[in-house]
């Protein structure tokens, strides 16, 4: 699967990967943005395969119904019921604390539509679990996936979120008007 993924991303799609995931950190959150198209998911799966990084993800409950749910679970996903408040942040922070190694990918926008502001659950999961955040950008304009270094949240939430968002300035998603 690794070589097939490399062939698809590099030869067929003609994309490249800039940066690497941290090898010495066993637990972290990957935030992928801008999330403007369904194509972001296959790019993420290819990235996961090429880098041999076991990234899990959460998705809306509807994605995990039979038969497509089989694929999404196989790909490392698990469902979240967004219609109810069920302490997802705390549950995911606990998951990090229970595992020796766990990497979770999340879209900070929470949707493919134009998002004026990010959802902050990923940030609070990282704070509660005391883990870093790794930024990943899907840059359709330059056909590259950019992986940044680990960012450790501080006690200044506003400044941290501003720093995280600044990484994505100038990055163009598949649908530029939604970026």
In three-state secondary structure terms, 132 is coil
User: Which region among 33-37, 64-68, 115-119 has the lowest average model confidence (pLDDT)?
Assistant: 115-119
Q: Is it the case that residue 69 has pLDDT exceeding 80?
A: yes
**pLDDT in the model for residue 27:** 98
- Contact between 120 and 29 under an 8 Å Cβ cutoff? The reply is no
Confidence band for 70, pLDDT divided at 50, 70 and 90: very high
Q: CA dihedral defined by 4, 2, 45, 56, rounded to 10 degrees? A: 160
Task: For the chain, give every domain's residue range.
Answer: 2-168
CA distance 164 to 153: 10
The residues, ordered by sequence, that sit 6+ positions from 88 with a Cβ below 8 Å of its Cβ are: 58, 80, 121
Whole-number average pLDDT of the chain: 89
**pLDDT over 70 (residue 85):** no
| Helices 88-98 & 121-129 angle (0-180, nearest 10) | 40
Name the token pair of 136.
């990943």
pTM of the model: 0.87
Q: Which residues contact 157 (CB under 8 A, 6 or more apart)?
A: 120, 123
Q: What is the CATH number of domain 2-168?
A: 3.40.1130.10
Q: Which helix (H) or strand (E) holds 2?
A: helix 2-6
* pLDDT, tens digit (0-9, with 9 covering 90-100), for 99-158: 999 999 998 876 555 657 778 889 999 999 999 999 999 999 999 999 999 999 999 999
């Amino acid at each position: 699967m690794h070589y097939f993924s490399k062939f698809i991303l590099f030869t067929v799609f003609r994309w490249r990967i800039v940066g690497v995931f941290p090898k010495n950190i066993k637990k972290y959150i990957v935030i992928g943005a801008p999330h403007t198209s369904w194509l972001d998911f296959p790019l993420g799966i290819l990235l996961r395969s090429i880098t041999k990084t076991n990234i899990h993800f959460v998705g809306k409950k509807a994605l995990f119904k039979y038969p497509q749910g089989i694929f999404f679970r196989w790909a490392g996903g698990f469902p979240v019921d967004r219609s109810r408040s069920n302490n997802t942040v705390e549950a995911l922070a606990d998951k990090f604390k229970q595992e020796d190694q766990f990497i979770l990918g999340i879209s900070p926008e929470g949707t493919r539509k134009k998002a004026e502001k990010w959802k902050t659950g990923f940030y609070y999961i990282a704070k509660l679990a005391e883990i870093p955040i790794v930024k990943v950008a899907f840059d359709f304009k330059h056909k590259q996936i950019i992986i940044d270094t680990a960012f450790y949240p501080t006690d200044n939430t506003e400044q941290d979120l501003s720093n995280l968002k600044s990484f994505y300035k100038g990055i163009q998603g598949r649908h530029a008007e939604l970026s």
